[in-house]
């Protein structure tokens, strides 16, 4: 939401139907297409444009380039009462991740906490969306995904870690769930591309040039710095390492720096990505009444904190809740580059485009 872009507005449901049909016409099995359309429209509705509809053309290119298995058969294996693995069969990560969260809820309803790893997967969009599915059904969830090298390790000069996000969602009595969804770099890689296109500088202390020196020139970009920048980046890099290990060693997949780049759809797969989810049932930890009261008290206290002039203290996910309300009412903005690409795919498929909202 931090970069403005020229866009058209499309209502949520027709947009989801459109993307679903584009994916199926490009060869995707209906179940996988539905998962991808659901995930990208959900992310865009919540204002997470970097991981929303913007990615649909890329996913379509991956299908046309046969980089992915268009009709994956998910295999779910329980290896312990509270642990399962989803083999994504080299299909879209979204499809496998929704399945993983379902399996996690089924286990956590009995055991209180459960972990689900996903292997042989691909990009899954916004990680928080899967945690949110659990939170909407009364579970808390943590989600993580591996990504290919984009972020320098602390003290390093070359991309090694992915932007390796951590998501956390928790149900709130009488309100929407609270969702944290954050990359472990200061800025997303996408922002570098946007600044380069716009001819504007990068913020200070968020990126290195190709020689490994801190830079603000997007044209000299070599790698992102981890959250914490050049002084405290050992913390962001440490979190990225935790995410990498949970998504790779625990799922049996290679680590981030060994993955094929996601950005080029013509690079042959398999992507071999891993994801990692933890699902918890708060009612099996203690009285749900106490849980609800404690959590609501925390959120109320947080949101009531005094703020800097012109600012407001928000809970994680509050900006996304505001975006969702606005976009439900006015339609989902699709930037013109993405919209042009989707229109081209639609023309190729003789598929009519949805009207603007």
Applying the rule CB under 8 A, the residues between 312 and 341 that interact with a second copy are 312-316
C-alpha distances in Å from residue 39, one per residue of 51, 75, 96, 247: 9, 21, 12, 20
Residues 20 to 39: which contact a second copy by CB under 8 A?
A: none
Residues 76 to 95: which contact a second copy by CB under 8 A?
A: 79-83, 85
Q: Which of 297, 325, 336, 347 binds a second copy (CB under 8 A)?
A: 297
110 near a second copy (CB under 8 A):
yes
Q: Which of 56, 62, 68, 278 binds a second copy (CB under 8 A)?
A: 278
64 near a second copy (CB under 8 A):
no
Torsion of CA 19, 22, 27, 29, to 10 degrees: 40
Nearest to 123 by CA among 159, 147, 101: 147
Shortest distance, CB of residue 341 to a second copy, whole angstroms? 30
Angle made by CA atoms 5, 10, 11, in degrees to the nearest 5: 135
Nearer to a second copy, 197 or 313 (CB): 313
The answer to whether residues 162 and 156 touch, using CB atoms and an 8 Å cutoff, is no
270 near a second copy (CB under 8 A):
no
Please provide residue 99's backbone torsions phi and psi, each rounded to the nearest 5 degrees: -65, -40
Nearer to a second copy, 60 or 166 (CB): 166
Nearest to 274 by CA among 304, 300, 252, 298: 252
Nearer to a second copy, 48 or 237 (CB): 237
254 near a second copy (CB under 8 A):
yes
Q: What is the DSSP string of 203-246?
A: PTTSEEETTS-B---GGGEEEEPBTTHHHHHHHHHHHHHHHHHH
Shortest distance, CB of residue 113 to a second copy, whole angstroms? 4
Q: Which of 291, 343, 351, 353 binds a second copy (CB under 8 A)?
A: 291
1 near a second copy (CB under 8 A):
no
Query: Omega of the bond prior to 287 within 30 degrees of 0, cis?
Result: no
- SS3 call for 169: strand
Query: Could you tell me which residues are beta bridge partners of residue 87?
Result: 75, 119
Shortest distance, CB of residue 237 to a second copy, whole angstroms? 8
The answer to whether residues 313 and 175 touch, using CB atoms and an 8 Å cutoff, is no
Q: Which of 32, 114, 334, 342 binds a second copy (CB under 8 A)?
A: 114
Nearer to a second copy, 231 or 344 (CB): 231
Pairing of strands 113-121, 273-280: antiparallel
Nearer to a second copy, 59 or 276 (CB): 276
Residues 128 to 187: which contact a second copy by CB under 8 A?
A: 140, 153-158, 160, 166, 168, 170, 178, 180, 182, 186-187
Shortest distance, CB of residue 63 to a second copy, whole angstroms? 29
Shortest distance, CB of residue 175 to a second copy, whole angstroms? 14
Tokens of 239: 């979190």
Q: What is the DSSP string of 88-116?
A: -TTS-HHHHHHHHHHHHHHHHHHHSEEEE
Nearer to a second copy, 211 or 356 (CB): 211
**How many residues bind to a second copy according to rule CB under 8 A?**
82
Residues 190 to 249: which contact a second copy by CB under 8 A?
A: 203, 212, 227-229, 231-232, 234-239, 241-242, 244-245, 248-249
């Amino acid at each position: 939401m931090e970069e403005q872009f020229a866009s058209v507005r499309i209502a949520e449901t027709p947009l989801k139907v459109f993307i679903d049909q584009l994916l199926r016409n490009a060869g995707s099995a209906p179940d996988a297409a539905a998962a991808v359309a659901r995930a990208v429209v959900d992310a865009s509705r919540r204002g997470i444009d970097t991981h929303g509809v913007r990615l649909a053309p890329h996913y379509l290119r991956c299908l046309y380039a046969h980089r992915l298995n268009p009709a994956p058969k998910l295999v779910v294996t329980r290896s312990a009462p509270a642990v399962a693995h989803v083999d994504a069969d080299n299909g879209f990560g979204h499809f496998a991740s929704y399945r993983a969260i379902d399996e996690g809820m089924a286990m956590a309803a009995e055991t209180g906490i459960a972990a689900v790893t996903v292997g042989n997967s691909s990009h899954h969009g916004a990680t928080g969306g899967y945690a949110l599915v659990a939170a909407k059904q009364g579970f808390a969830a943590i989600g993580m995904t591996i990504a290919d090298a984009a972020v320098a390790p602390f003290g390093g000069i070359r991309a090694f870690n992915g932007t390796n996000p951590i998501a956390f969602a928790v149900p709130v009595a009488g309100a929407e769930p609270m969702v944290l969804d954050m990359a472990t770099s200061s800025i997303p890689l996408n922002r570098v591309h946007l600044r380069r296109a716009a001819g504007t500088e990068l913020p200070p202390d968020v990126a290195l040039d190709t020689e490994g020196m801190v830079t603000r020139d997007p044209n000299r970009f070599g790698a992102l710095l981890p959250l914490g920048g050049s002084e405290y980046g050992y913390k962001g890099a440490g979190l990225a390492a935790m995410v990498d290990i949970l998504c790779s060693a625990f799922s049996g997949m290679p680590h981030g720096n060994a993955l094929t780049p996601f950005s080029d759809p013509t690079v042959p797969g398999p992507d071999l990505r891993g994801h990692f989810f933890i699902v918890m049932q708060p009612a099996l930890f203690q009285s749900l009444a106490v849980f609800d009261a404690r959590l609501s008290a925390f959120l109320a206290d947080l949101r009531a904190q005094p703020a800097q002039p012109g600012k407001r203290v928000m809970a994680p996910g509050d900006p996304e809740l505001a975006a969702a309300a606005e976009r439900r009412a006015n339609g989902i903005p699709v930037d013109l580059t993405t919209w042009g690409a989707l229109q081209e795919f639609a023309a190729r498929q003789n598929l009519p485009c949805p009207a603007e909202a």
